[in-house]
Structure 1
Amino acid sequence: MSAGFAPVQKSNLADDLADRLVQLIRARGYQPGDRLPSIMEMARSFGVGHPTLREALKKLESMGVVEIRHGAGVYVGSGHNRLLVSNPVFGGEVSKKLLLDLVEARIPIETTAVTLAATAATEEHLDRMAALLARAEANMDNDAVLSEANMAFHREIAVASGNLVLAQIQEVLTQLFSREQRVILGIYGSREKDHREHLGILDALRRRDAGLAEERMKTHLEGVRDVLLRWDPEKNPLPA
């Protein structure tokens, strides 16, 4: 099974590995339901660590490209022929303007996604969102876990929208400069307020109220933009 794998440079992002996995699935003619090689074998063949591979597989699972069956392995999903958008690699300086542009881009994308999700989300989607917010609430003092849960909440909304392109763009945008945004929100933001707004968005989704969900998402993201506007890069520079 190792033939057809090519080593991936360790400097690449998990998104690059996700793209290589999709290429492998297509090249080998895997069909939905086919079992992929074990995680150990794929990690060894691609020359990456298990955490990097699992991150790539998690991304593909959210897109329906693979299905991870715990204790049984990784299987090709029904979305194996779908478009895959990789995260861009940015090597320049992360400026206030760039972060504001990112939030401005998120507003129309995420308000559209949450509007669609109000109708399209299944109970399983909503339950996963609730579990993510419960995890966030239990880790309000743990920046890494809190940020991961919050990002996953936003991604789950995009997945629940049923719009593949929105879901993949959302995957890119939530990952882009996530560390820098976490630092700034930690200085100027309120994690309690952020959490209450997330709960409000979930409440609107459970009500199937598209207008309310859109309004609450827009208010939430405009609040993130306001936090970034208050950021003074000279007084609080981002860590190297």
Structure 2
Amino acid sequence: FNVGPATIVLLSDVLDLLEFRLSLEVQAAGMAAERATPQAMEELAQALEALMQGPEKSGSTTNADFQFHLKIAKASGNRYLIDIMKNLGTKMIPRTRMNSAYTGQSNRSTYLAGINVEHQQIFDAIASRQVDAARAAMFMHLNNSRMRLREAQKLQAFYSE
């Protein structure tokens, strides 16, 4: 199993990776809602807070975004999910592979604010132990990313004709 910069080159590669993540992370969110320990919830809350502080503090949200998703995998208690997430690393975050302007997001702060609302919804569902809501929130988050990238793919095809 190898996912790296050499394998994530095209927009279609990023879309494939998002589809892979959908199959894993929706279930991970549900398991986290069911199984998270108080310590795992504290770590997830800290990861969310770092993500919400955004680029104002660190200049980038990529690692904070990855850490949030990794903490969900850890909260699931499934070691294979954790290992896969660690292997993917920050490569799994679409904006590490694509310019946000290229994905049709000209206002980066508005784009990140929308993503942060999605992250908050995931956290809230996990924290309240709502398994189905956690799965739905993660699905919505990843599917929204997929839809944004599909729009970018259409723009790319339009401008390359």
TM-score by length of 2: 0.80
Q: Could you tell me which of 140, 165, 188 is aligned with 2:80?
A: 165
Instruction: Give me the identity figure in percent.
Output: 26
1:111 paired to 2:32: no
Offset of 1:211 from its aligned partner?
0.4
**Residue identity opposite 2:71 in structure 1:** E
- Cα distance in structure 2, aligned partners of 1:92 and 1:112: 25
Offset of 1:214 from its aligned partner?
0.2
Q: Could you tell me which of 124, 136, 150 is aligned with 1:203?
A: 124
Distance verdict in 2 for CA 1:187–1:96, change over 3 Å: closer
Please say if residues 106 and 173 of structure 1, whose CA atoms lie closer than 8 Å, have aligned partners that are also in contact. Answer: no
Q: Unaligned regions of 5+ residues in structure 2, if any?
A: 106-110
Structure number with bigger Rg? 1
Q: Unaligned regions of 5+ residues in structure 1, if any?
A: 1-84
Superposed, which structure 2 residues align to 1:170-185 within 5 Å? 170-176=85-91, 178=93, 179-181=96-98, 183-184=99-100
Distance verdict in 2 for CA 1:107–1:144, change over 3 Å: farther
- Cα distance in structure 2, aligned partners of 1:177 and 1:206: 24
- 2:60 alignment partner, SS class: helix
Distance verdict in 2 for CA 1:171–1:188, change over 3 Å: farther
- Cα distance in structure 1, aligned partners of 2:21 and 2:68: 14
1:56 aligned partner: none
Offset of 1:210 from its aligned partner?
0.4
C-alpha RMSD of matched pairs (Å): 2.7
Please say if residues 110 and 170 of structure 1, whose CA atoms lie closer than 8 Å, have aligned partners that are also in contact. Answer: no
- Cα distance in structure 1, aligned partners of 2:118 and 2:37: 21
1:69 aligned partner: none
Q: How many residues align?
A: 151
Q: Could you tell me which of 139, 142, 148 is aligned with 1:218?
A: 139
Offset of 1:174 from its aligned partner?
4.2
Measured against aligned partners, the alpha-carbon deviations of 1:73-110 in whole angstroms (never above 9, x if no partner) come to xxxxxxxxxxxx7x544436711111110100100100
Distance verdict in 2 for CA 1:211–1:92, change over 3 Å: closer
